[in-house]
Amino acid sequence: MCTGRVDLEFILRAFANGQDGVLIGGCRLGECNYITHGNFDAFATAHLGKKILAHLGLNPERLRIAFMSAADGNRLAEINDEFVAKIRSVGPIVNGEEGMEKNTLAFKLAAARKLVPFLKLVERERLRAPEKTEQAYRDFFDSEKVNALIDSILQDKLAVSQIMLLLRENPLSTSDISKQLGLNPSDVSRHMNSSSRHGLVRYDTSSSRYALVQ
């Protein structure tokens, strides 16, 4: 299967199912067997996936992408050994070096998975290098401008997604949301004002709590 078909959802689902790490192996950049050159799409997906892990409080090195040819058997073995050693040093994804409890991990990954359709659209429209060459893609995703864009999108969208999941359980006040997610109350208010304008939440003045619009 071409690595271009490795969806961001597949990666997040693997972690949600308890995998401690995900290794994606594909053809060398510029040597794709298909005219679509899907391995460049996989490169972008992996970079975005690493960013998501970091914003969730997980070690981004739990995800790796490597490019090699069919003749690189020894290289594949080396990469596998390196990745296994790295994951062992990081520890299990639940209660590993990040100290992430099972329920917290499940909640954060569920929020991230809700964003996959939106993030795929962003990747298509705003996260494509000007040309499909290895150097162009590496320069593009190493640039401060691109990484600042990704960080700003993820910071807001992940926060809103987590808030929506909390409100599915029961209405909450700004301070409740702030405490549960560790967010600044002013940021929570900003997110709620925006969500209210989009018809996603409503504010109950009698209880001073936000609730999802049914």
Quick one: which of 69, 97, 62, 98 has its CA closest to 83?
A: 62
Contact 13, 116 (CB under 8 A): no
Chain centroid to CA 93: how far? 15
Whether 132 and 202 share a structural domain: no
The whole domain housing 211 covers 170-214
Assess contact for 48 and 8: CB atoms under 8 A. yes
- The reply to whether 195 and 162 lie within a common domain is no
In DSSP terms, 204 is beta-bridged to 209
Please check whether residues 175 and 107 belong to one and the same domain: no
- Is there a contact between 43 and 137 (Cβ–Cβ < 8 Å)? yes
Residues 17 and 72 in one domain: yes
pTM (two decimals): 0.92
Q: Are 51 and 61 found together in one domain?
A: yes
Q: How many domains does the chain have?
A: 2
Q: Compute the distance between CA of residue 112 and CA of residue 143 in angstroms, rounded to an integer.
A: 24
Query: CA-based angle 5:94:62, to the nearest 5?
Result: 40
pLDDT digits (tens, 9 = 90+) for 14-72: 999 999 999 999 888 888 777 778 889 999 999 999 999 999 999 999 999 999 887 88
At 177 the pLDDT is: 97
Q: For position 72, what pLDDT does the model report?
A: 81
